[in-house]
Structure 1
């Protein structure tokens, strides 16, 4: 561990020092990584775009060892979730009890540090097939950068290792992630005279009751035992409506989130929402609601027998697993890769004050990525 740890720690310290919260630009980190990769013989291409707030974002695709479809892509997202202002050392890598602390140290700058070290140490003359390093923007707010790569057809590879904190366990499948907002309309009136109006909140309650019933029945008919829970889950995490306690509410909105199992069409819940709306209109002709689909992201299900999955299982000594949260693996799959999610750190300590990555996992990850390059590119 002592041979590679100082260099990995130094690189991670520099990455953590760059504030790449999703609301900010990731250009400084891309410039840092691109300089390292180009110095090692990579040819780099930037895909630029401006987010909804007018902030410049960049995806980086760097290739070494030829042109055309890469044999292996190492993929990491550069953005991080916001940090609490009380965490004064969020952008300063600190060490304690064999752990390295800092915003992004776990999710996913630890993986990026490992990928940069493994990739830049490769002798180009030994590469028989192209090696690719991909750094994306805005993963935390909807996989935006990865989707733009798909739209442009950039980042094609035969195999892809997508960095996420998995405690060095290969994750071959993940559920999708979808969102919709339901807007229920009523008629305002004085609360002392209910017949003069129509409560949008009561109407929303009837809608939600039916949605809960379908989530407990219809959506559990299709199951995939590789996941826990093995069915598509539904959550209503946000609801708002009404103006005052003595006013019949004229509007109510709620957000529906669902995580479809890979084998199920993610649009199924959208169709259920529309079915509920139509049924309620039939029961009450004056009932009015609109369903606005905000996001439809499919899951991914790479076979356990896939070469890259078996390789990481052998190297890590851990059996392949699945997760319920979303990753960029579906986008790499859409670009033609057999994709697997893998990296140092535990997802349960990500997105919180005191985020950390174990130093021993950092070293092991770099070693495994180096062996992956040898396996697929040499």
Structure 2
């Protein structure tokens, strides 16, 4: 079973090829952005993952997308994360912080101010705020000086993450948030040096990567992308031109990894894997959680070095052990994914059954 083999890349040495994907859980203090005390237990329970990528954490208040999302913009927040990373390390795990700016996918009812974006283009649909589902608002276009400030906010959050004990950071450049908004033509209608041509639309994402690399070193930096993914009203009909050029820029740095979200109707891995010589983490996006067999197939085919599993880690804190035994998998109901409620957070038990019961299926 290749998923359970150790992996040694340029910057990552992992005991297995299973990553715990970043998943918003919404349990942080909504006023302070400090992780809930049980967040320590939540991540420590899942330390057997080859790599944990934390839930997205905002790099400044304007980048906060929804209620209960933690930040890494204050010392109070960093101090709470120190307890998390210490607990994960005590259990033998490795954890990267996912640094996130939501861009226009935000609401004044969440962070008390007008969202910002490359351009003043309103997102279609509705958004979840402290008052429940509500209409989106038109964002304010960032000025050029403000763009530089956001770049520095990412760099400062990365520095704070390392000081808080994280092994590295993942920059969230996927799912329709700020970094991807600069890449996509429907959200970036700027006419200055940050918009228009592909090279100009690449400028902000590359500036963020470079600033963070300068702060903490390339070996501690990963980037998550989702080419062609229409989430949060993104349209990227030119992704086959944009992302190869982005990867060409990234190849100048020996990043810890590139984290690629692939969807059944886009299939980006087959296009981008040959272009990326470093470690690649694959994340299959579909209605059902990624299965063990799907993960094994990605490794065997060479499309990925590591596979990210999300929803299965919520209900199966010991997912690698369950895969090793081909043991039954628990399922979590969608109602417990997000929110301040604490049931469905740290109360999913590890497997306690006799391993011999699953020996036959484990050998198959």
Q: Which interval holds the TM-score relative to the shorter structure?
A: under 0.3
TM-score normalised according to structure 2 size: 0.28
**Length-normalised TM-score, structure 1:** 0.27
**Structure having greater relative contact order (Cα 8 Å, sep ≥ 6):** 1
Which structure has greater strand proportion? 1
